[in-house]
């Protein structure tokens, strides 16, 4: 059997070819000569398998997608408190190249790291070493995430540098306000170099996999980013990643994302998939027209919208799932998802258990998904039942509560019998 995923991706591209519209970016002269028909998509799974279709070997400059990863890098290096003092996390609602300073605080600072003023400031925070300047340090970091040695596109770099009047004026303003602490020209030029790093959609998918996988690179098992860093990066991607189209994006696609002016977009659904698309023609916000279309399709087809959430069974326990299998032995057969709301419902139900020495069995074999909060609350419920004098045991073939297993109140024989009785009565 072959997995249908590659065919699915190829179909997506075929269908979206009919999707016309948009313009090439022209303010970087070299981007205006891009081939508008290039089209590629890549998807990474939680365990780092990459599926691709279209022009998946085609290299393009990473541009603003770099902002998300540079932000991750400096938070990891300096800690989020230091970085948040310099750059805010408020969506600007303005174009990517607005200066967008938050003046409400004691010290002016760029509103967020996904617009140019914030990204230039973030770039200035990359530590320089004797062996590598900031752009080189970030190139090495991106290469590690991509799993191969990435290179600068020097013609893109030169082309943008020669016409960088807008970014230079942002740089000077930031320097004037002491947000930048050294030569703004050097920082802006180095930021432009960061934007010129060449990637393919495959590289981008690899780079997203560290965000999908909670900060650990799935291909090597190495922890690159802390959990908190990943959460911080995904937060600003959600609120600011698509500039002043972020609201529409969240409504229609609903995953943390970042776009770039060369036509790339990445999307990350933590714990599930990372997505990367490339198609050079842009809408008025500077986001890839076909890229948005493909992302929207994938989100619909795969049910990726963040706010759809994990379908909760709501009824972790119904009255008919509570059975007296013997005098003084009650079995609670739990089923479905166990997160906060279901655990709260269960603990509320357990309040009906009067103090006493009867025995309670939780059958966890039908729980489809449990998170840390659900696990902790169930363990707490068990402790409280015990404190009330009950004996508690678990039927837990999937090791939902692995730590509790060594601490059962029942003899294994009785435990086994109860399992049988519970099955018979089901
Ligand atoms: N290098 C570009 C700039 O700073 C990146 C912008 C973008 O991709 N939106 O203007």
Pocket test for ligand 1, best of 26, 29, 34, 97 (most atoms within 8 A of CB): 97
Pocket test for ligand 1, best of 99, 156, 159, 160 (most atoms within 8 A of CB): 160
256 lines ligand 1 (CB under 6 A): no
Instruction: Return the pLDDT at 130.
Output: 84
Q: Is residue 314 part of a domain?
A: no
Mark whether 340 and 385 lie in a shared domain.
Answer: yes
C-alpha R_g of the chain: 26
Residue 315 has pLDDT above 80, yes or no: no
> Which comes out higher in pLDDT, residue 165 or 329?
165
Phi/psi of residue 326, nearest 5 degrees: -150, 170
Q: Is residue 211 part of a domain?
A: yes
Mark whether 217 and 355 lie in a shared domain.
Answer: no
Instruction: Return the pLDDT at 291.
Output: 96
Task: Name the DSSP letter for residue 308.
Answer: G
Q: Which residues contact 394 (CB under 8 A, 6 or more apart)?
A: 361, 362, 363, 364, 401, 404, 405, 408
**Residue 312 is labelled as binding a ligand:** no
Mark whether 270 and 148 lie in a shared domain.
Answer: yes
Q: Is residue 381 part of a domain?
A: yes
How far is the centre of ligand 1, averaged over its atoms, from the C-alpha of 75 (Å)? 21
Percent residues over pLDDT 70 in the chain: 92
Of the pLDDT bands very low, low, confident and very high (cuts 50, 70, 90), residue 348 is confident
How far is the centre of ligand 1, averaged over its atoms, from the C-alpha of 119 (Å)? 10
Mark whether 303 and 333 lie in a shared domain.
Answer: no
What are the tokens at 366?
Answer: 């039908």
Give the separation between CA 378 and CA 194, rounded to whole angstroms. Answer: 48
Instruction: Return the pLDDT at 312.
Output: 61
97 lines ligand 1 (CB under 6 A): yes
Residue 176 has pLDDT above 60, yes or no: yes
Of the pLDDT bands very low, low, confident and very high (cuts 50, 70, 90), residue 414 is low
Mark whether 221 and 326 lie in a shared domain.
Answer: no
Task: Name the DSSP letter for residue 244.
Answer: G
96 lines ligand 1 (CB under 6 A): yes
How far is the centre of ligand 1, averaged over its atoms, from the C-alpha of 34 (Å)? 15
CB 306, CB 254: distance < 8 Å: yes
Instruction: Return the pLDDT at 313.
Output: 54
361 CA to centre of own chain: 38
> Which comes out higher in pLDDT, residue 224 or 317?
224
How far is the centre of ligand 1, averaged over its atoms, from the C-alpha of 42 (Å)? 22
Look at residues 287, 308, 329 and tell me which one is the last residue of a structural domain. Answer: 308
In this predicted model, what pLDDT tens digit does every residue of 394-412 receive, in sequence order?
888 888 888 776 556 665 4
Residue from 331, 224, 214, 207 nearest 260 by CA: 207
Task: Name the DSSP letter for residue 388.
Answer: T
Mark whether 40 and 144 lie in a shared domain.
Answer: yes
How far is the centre of ligand 1, averaged over its atoms, from the C-alpha of 377 (Å)? 46
Q: Is residue 182 part of a domain?
A: yes
Of the pLDDT bands very low, low, confident and very high (cuts 50, 70, 90), residue 189 is very high
What's 270's domain CATH number? 3.40.710.10
Q: Is residue 313 part of a domain?
A: no
Instruction: Return the pLDDT at 200.
Output: 98
Pocket test for ligand 1, best of 64, 120, 153 (most atoms within 8 A of CB): 64
Average pLDDT over residues 11-24: 87
In this predicted model, what pLDDT tens digit does every residue of 236-253 receive, in sequence order?
999 999 988 889 999 999
Residue for token pair 């119904």: 318
What are the tokens at 183?
Answer: 């030569």
Interhelix angle 65-78/116-124, nearest 10 degrees: 40
Give the separation between CA 263 and CA 55, rounded to whole angstroms. Answer: 13
- Provide the domain count of the chain: 2
Tell me the residue length of the chain: 426
Q: Which residues contact 214 (CB under 8 A, 6 or more apart)?
A: 227, 230, 270, 271
Instruction: Return the pLDDT at 111.
Output: 93
Instruction: Return the pLDDT at 388.
Output: 92
Angstrom distances, CA of residue 412 to CA of 323, 324, 406: 20, 19, 11
In this predicted model, what pLDDT tens digit does every residue of 276-301 receive, in sequence order?
999 999 999 999 999 999 999 999 98
Mark whether 268 and 140 lie in a shared domain.
Answer: yes
How far is the centre of ligand 1, averaged over its atoms, from the C-alpha of 271 (Å)? 29
Phi/psi of residue 266, nearest 5 degrees: -115, 150
Residue 136 has pLDDT above 80, yes or no: yes
Q: Which residues contact 56 (CB under 8 A, 6 or more apart)?
A: 40, 41, 42, 200, 201, 202
Of the pLDDT bands very low, low, confident and very high (cuts 50, 70, 90), residue 93 is confident
Mark whether 134 and 72 lie in a shared domain.
Answer: yes
Instruction: Return the pLDDT at 404.
Output: 72
Mark whether 26 and 83 lie in a shared domain.
Answer: yes
Mark whether 200 and 258 lie in a shared domain.
Answer: yes
Residue 55 has pLDDT above 70, yes or no: yes
Of the pLDDT bands very low, low, confident and very high (cuts 50, 70, 90), residue 423 is low
The average confidence (pLDDT) of the chain is 90
State whether residue 39 is helix, strand or coil. coil
Largest CA distance in the chain: 85
Give the separation between CA 396 and CA 385, rounded to whole angstroms. Answer: 18
Average pLDDT over residues 87-91: 92
Mark whether 256 and 358 lie in a shared domain.
Answer: no
Q: Is residue 179 part of a domain?
A: yes
Ligand 1: nearest atom to the Cα of 116: 4
Residue 358 has pLDDT above 90, yes or no: no
What are the tokens at 136?
Answer: 């080189």
Residue 23 has pLDDT above 70, yes or no: yes
Q: Is residue 261 part of a domain?
A: yes
Of the pLDDT bands very low, low, confident and very high (cuts 50, 70, 90), residue 19 is confident
Give the separation between CA 191 and CA 121, rounded to whole angstroms. Answer: 9
What are the tokens at 170?
Answer: 């942002």
Q: Is residue 234 part of a domain?
A: yes
Look at residues 275, 308, 341 and tell me which one is the last residue of a structural domain. Answer: 308
Of the pLDDT bands very low, low, confident and very high (cuts 50, 70, 90), residue 415 is low
Look at residues 255, 276, 308 and tell me which one is the last residue of a structural domain. Answer: 308
Mark whether 302 and 370 lie in a shared domain.
Answer: no
Residue 353 has pLDDT above 60, yes or no: yes
Q: E strand or H helix at 376, and its extent?
A: helix 372-387
What domain range includes position 51? Answer: 5-308
What's 379's domain CATH number? 3.30.750.24
């Amino acid at each position: 059997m072959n997995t249908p995923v590659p065919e699915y991706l190829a179909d997506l591209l075929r269908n979206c070819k009919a999707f016309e519209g948009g313009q090439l970016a022209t303010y970087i002269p070299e981007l205006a000569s891009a081939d508008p028909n290039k089209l590629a998509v890549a998807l990474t799974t939680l365990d780092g398998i990459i599926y691709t279709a279209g022009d998946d070997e085609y290299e393009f400059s990473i541009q603003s997608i770099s902002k998300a990863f540079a932000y991750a890098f400096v938070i990891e290096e300096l800690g989020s408190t230091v970085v948040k003092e310099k750059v805010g996390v408020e969506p600007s609602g303005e174009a990517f190249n607005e200066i967008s300073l938050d003046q409400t605080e004691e010290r002016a600072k760029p509103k967020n790291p996904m617009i140019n003023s914030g990204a230039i400031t973030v770039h200035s925070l990359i530590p320089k070493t004797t062996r590598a300047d900031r752009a080189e340090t970030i190139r090495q970091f991106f290469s590690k995430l991509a799993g191969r040695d990435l290179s600068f596109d020097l013609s893109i770099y030169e082309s943008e540098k020669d016409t960088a009047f807008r970014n230079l004026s942002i740089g000077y303003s930031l320097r004037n306000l002491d947000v930048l602490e050294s030569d703004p020209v050097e920082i802006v030029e180095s930021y432009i170099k960061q934007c010129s790093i060449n990637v393919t959609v495959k590289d981008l998918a690899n780079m997203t996999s560290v965000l999908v996988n909670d900060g650990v690179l799935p291909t090597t098992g190495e922890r690159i980013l802390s959990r908190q860093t990943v959460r911080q990066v995904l937060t600003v991607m959600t609120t600011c990643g698509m500039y002043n189209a972020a609201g529409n994006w969240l409504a229609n696609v609903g995953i943390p994302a970042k776009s770039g002016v060369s036509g790339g977009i990445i999307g990350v659904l933590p714990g599930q998939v990372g997505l990367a698309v490339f198609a050079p023609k842009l809408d008025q916000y500077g986001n890839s027209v076909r890229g948005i279309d493909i992302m929207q399709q994938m989100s619909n087809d795969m049910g990726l919208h963040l706010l759809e959430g994990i379908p909760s069974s709501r009824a972790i326990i119904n009255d008919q799932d509570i059975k007296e299998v013997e005098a003084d032995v009650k079995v609670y057969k739990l089923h479905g998802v166990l997160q906060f709301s279901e655990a709260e419902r269960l603990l509320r139900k357990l309040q009906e258990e009067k103090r006493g020495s009867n025995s309670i069995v939780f059958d966890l074999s039908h729980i489809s998904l449990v998170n840390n909060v659900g696990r902790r609350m169930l363990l707490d419920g068990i402790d409280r039942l015990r404190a009330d004098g009950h004996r508690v045991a678990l039927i837990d073939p999937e090791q939902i509560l692995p730590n509790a297993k060594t601490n059962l109140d029942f003899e294994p024989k009785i435990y086994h019998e109860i399992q049988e009785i519970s099955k018979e009565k089901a």
